Structures are given as C-alpha cells and as structure tokens.
Structure 1
C-alpha cells in the first residue's frame, strides 16, 4: 500500500500553460500531486497550431480527445481523429499538428515522472517539470 494520497484533478479548474504557436497545456498528474512514476496532461491546439518536432527520453502515449490531428512520427504523417491513440517509443522524433479550422485537444502520458523534451531543430533538452514551471499561465 502506498503512502501517497489519491488525487482528483479537474482540468477546468487548473491553469493552462501557454506553449506558444496557439497551443496550451494543462498539466494533470505530476510530482505535485504525488506521482512518482508518470505524468500526464491535456494540450489544446488552436486551428493551424503545431508543436515543434521533438523527442522524449521515455515512452509517450497520446489520445485525441477532440477534433482531428496529424501525428508526424519519425518523418511519417498519420491522420488521427477523436479516440485515436498513439504510442511513441523513447527518442523517436514526433509532433502533433492541427491543420483544421476547429480546436483539437490531446491527452498525453509520459512513462517517467522525470521526462524530458529535446527539440530537434535546436537540440535543446529540458525536463517537462521545468517547462511547466517556466510557462506563462493563462
């Protein structure tokens, strides 16, 4: 039995982190609520929004919650619709794009509470914790 207390997280009551380029993230399960093994959250993309090509040091799974998306994974484009789910191994370059005129939302999970993101264009690596801590809240 764990010493950690369970948490109920309500996305509508949590701050959104501005990711730039029309994307906003709501961190959900993090170290802050007591997680020791995984993190997850929701990212919302405005029409035309995209996140830059990047990779993580751990596995990631993404489910489309709303709208249609393009998952670009290791150079291949995959159209996704609501309910479609990806699994991306560690160190595989990927990104998600909203090429529609409606909002798109994804639910993501990283298999490590210490996950990092390395941007392919700049090779800058940052922990997801640091990204969230430095983000502008909306």
Structure 2
C-alpha cells in the first residue's frame, strides 16, 4: 500500500483572481511536456503518455518508454520546488509549505517505487530547454548515464 501524504485542509480561497489563475494551469499536456514529446516523436521515438504506475493508484508517468522501462516526469517549477525558480506564496504560507512539501515527498516516493521495479527515472524541470531534455532522455534510452541531469528528488 503506498504511503499517504496528509496536506492540511485549505484555509479558504486566496482570492478570486488567484483561484481563476490557478484553475487555468494545465496539469498535463502543458507546453513543456508537449515540446519534449514533439522532439522525441520527430526523432522516431515512441512512448506512452500519462502511463499509470502499477501499485500506485492515481499516479502516472508523464512520458513512459515501457519496453526500456524509462519514466520521464516534466516537473513544474512551482509545484515541485525548483531550487532556481520555485516560489513560496505569502498568502496561506503554512498551508502552501505543507502542500509543496507533500508534492516533493510524493515525487521521491514515486521515483523510489519505480526504481525498485527496475525503471530508470528522469525528472526534468519545466524551465529546461526541450532539446536538452530530449538529449537526456535519449541518453537514458541508450544506457548513457553520464549525460543525465540531476534533480533534487533523485537520490
């Protein structure tokens, strides 16, 4: 059974404008993800999109190469705590800190689960150039670990 990550109940809306802005953010098929997928597809690679993770309900791999067992996650800087671009909201700061910490713990748990199942896990920040991401992915597919970027959840 996967661990659960408790996030305190949201203390209320942070404002109508913020709520509207947050509701327009794409959870999947966002610009960063699509740019990387286009490059991989153009290079002749075929993959599964939003592939369910066995044993972890409601979690998916953004780009999965099932035969090679390579899992690629394109992580948003805000939601996953990018050390360069991640920000901490001032309104409801305690709630947001708990929420973003739970996201990072879930990322680490997901990566560990996949690695234990024999997968290579790549986490790519949304701000990384799509070409650089594609090089890291194709390197992992060919077994080259020397060109892979590092992500804080990679341990």
* TM-score in terms of structure 1 length: 0.25
Larger Rg: 2
Q: Which has the higher contact order (CA 8 A, sep 6+)?
A: 1
